[in-house]
Amino acid sequence: MKQPDLSIRLGPLNLQNPVMTASGTFGYGPEYHRLYDVNLLGGIVTKSITLKPRPGNPAPRIYETPSGMLNSIGLQNVGVEAFVKTKLPFLRGLRGPKVIVSLAGESVSEYVALARRLDGEKGIDGFELNISCPNCEQGGMEFGVDPRGTARLVKAVAAATRRPLIVKLSPNVTDVVAIARAAAGAGAQILSLINTLVGLAVDPARWKPRIATVTGGLSGPAIRPVALRMVWQVHRALPKIPLIGIGGILTAADAVEFMLCGASAFQVGTANYVNPQAPVEILQGLRTYLTERKLVSAKKLVGGLKVPRVLRGIPKVVAG
């Protein structure tokens, strides 16, 4: 039988397949290229970059929970100039995946300066605006929890770049649709969701938090149902905007769940720590899933979730 078509359109971006790696879990690419050919991927999102280098938060900053991981890295990164000099050359040499640079800052002007600085650099296919970092004193999530703050930031960055703009949404909000609508209305061409959920873990022997900054961002399988719910909500409310699903994807079946809820592509994050081969195994698993069901294209899955016509009894915040 003919191989299924795995290519996916994400607004202005054409991906060879929907498998992307999530920001902060994949370094800048070469770290994993030693383990497999990262040219097989549909997309790579870098660790968020800031204007100046950042050392990150004090240790301990990672703690494994029963079904996920808490982190408080604090936006550790090399800064934009070192990124261009030492990290971008590898990414530029890739032939398969779209290269998405994640941007973060403490103010609108910082995000704008970053977008301007990188706009002319070859080898970048788009930006992912991180408006959802849960571990930074200033900026980060501050923008992503308020529709007006989101709109102001996205509008300013959209005016500063010609590159496709993805906005990464925070789950730490009451109404994710309001934030999604604000981002799309201000010029985001694609939305990715979700970033980590703010959490806390305690050492009962020492009466101390497991993470130095007390709270951290929870990722992994524990958050998958929350992420799926949010993808579904946003897809129902804004069916025209392409979505990238993120949250605890370990297997091809998990990825299919996101596509059925409305994601055109998905990002693999925490799974990279458990099994560095996860993204390529998920890619193969997706191919097998489609072949076994005689589906000719991965696009057939997007938004295919069968839901009852009448959603009586479902809370309004979820039913939309």
User: Whose Cβ is closer to ligand RRO: residue 62's or residue 295's?
Assistant: 62
Nearest CA to 230 among 197, 184, 268? 197
To the query of whether residue 133 is one of the catalytic residues in this protein, the response is yes
Q: Which is nearer to ligand RRO, 4 or 139 (CB)?
A: 139
Shorter beta-carbon distance to ligand RRO: residue 135 or 267: 135
SS3 label, residue 261: coil
For the CB of residue 310, give the shortest distance to ligand RRO in the complex, in Å: 37
CB of 73 closer than 8 Å to CB of 215: no
Q: Which of 8, 19, 133, 256 is catalytic?
A: 133
- 245 token code pair: 């699903």
- Which residues bind to ligand RRO, rule: CB under 6 A? 24, 48, 71-75, 104, 130, 132-135, 195-196, 217
309, burial (CB in 10 Å: exposed 0-12, middle 13-18, buried 19+): exposed
* 226's tokens: 């929350």
Beta carbon nearer to ligand RRO, 16 or 132: 132
Q: Which residue of the chain is nearest ligand RRO when measured via CB?
A: 217
* Pair type for strands 243-246 and 215-219: unpaired
Residues contacting 276, CB < 8 A, separation 6+: 32, 35, 36
Long-range pairs for 274-278: beta carbons < 8 A, 24 or more residues apart: 274/250, 275/250, 276/32, 276/35, 276/36, 277/35, 277/36, 278/250
Decide whether 69 or 261 has the Cβ nearer to ligand RRO. 69
Specify the DSSP element, H or E, that contains 180.
Answer: helix 176-185
Residue 56 C-beta: closest distance to ligand RRO, Å: 7
Q: For strands 62-65 and 190-193, give the pairing.
A: unpaired
Task: Name the residues annotated as catalytic.
Answer: 133
